[in-house]
Amino acid sequence: MADQNDSALLFAIRSCSQCRDLPLGPRPILQWQRDAQILIAGQAPGRLTHDKGVPFDDPSGDRLRDWLGVDRATFYDPGVFAIVPMAFCYPGKGKSGDLPPPPVCAQLWRNQLLEPMRSLKLTIIVGQYAAAWHHRDDKGTLTGLVCRWEKSFPGTVVLPHPSPRNRMWLSRNPWFEADLVPHLRARVAGILAAMRPSFQDPL
């Protein structure tokens, strides 16, 4: 029954046309299975992602996979990684980057996707809009949440957005890649090691 319900939920999301006024029209993009062990809670697809229909198939995704220490095959295995952004469609371009994710998407779908995920070992929160939703009781800055990563680790971690636009943030905060990223890679590697039998070919 769960498989049928999950398939129906994904079909409903991918068929959603609630936001008909989007500049490129609705094209919901996500990756999800209820038994995934790592959740990537992102913001919204970018233009390249919209065009390809694959989450994080762009320079931001390349950097994120590097931070996680995983290859594309592992990243795009829905039994390992669920990729559930705050909005599933490209919101359009603003003055200094993409527009914020429309809140209606999370209101409609987010709890339906997250509540059944009982196997999660790690939630990776990417960017300010996802951080604001997942840390509603913390009104601090994104940088502050990233700095305090040890308080919620190893179950949850907040990351800056891996967009090339964030080069200045990374250059001003070298501790992120020197300290946090190695711990993140080790945590991801540990989860994968525990799952390793499912990745091996049968003898």
* Runs of H (alpha helix) within the chain: 2-14, 47-52, 59-68, 72-75, 103-114, 128-134, 142-147, 167-172, 175, 181-195
Least trusted range by pLDDT, from 19-23, 25-29, 98-102, 136-140: 136-140
More confident of the two residues 89 and 201: 89
**pLDDT at residue 97, rounded to an integer:** 79
- Name the strand (E) or helix (H) holding 120: none
Residue-averaged pLDDT of the chain: 93
List, in order of start, the domains of the chain with CATH numbers: 2-196 (3.40.470.10)
**pLDDT at residue 1, rounded to an integer:** 59
The pTM assigned to this predicted structure is 0.92
**pLDDT at residue 72, rounded to an integer:** 97
201: pLDDT strictly greater than 50: no
More confident of the two residues 96 and 68: 68
Over residues 167-188, the mean pLDDT reads 97
Which pLDDT band holds residue 196 (cuts at 50, 70, 90)?
confident
Q: Which span out of 92-101, 161-170, 175-184 was modeled with the highest average pLDDT? A: 175-184
Percent of the chain with pLDDT over 90: 86
**pLDDT at residue 45, rounded to an integer:** 94
Cα gap 129→122, rounded to integer Å? 19
pLDDT digits (tens, 9 = 90+) for 93-134: 988 778 999 999 999 999 999 999 999 999 999 999 999 999
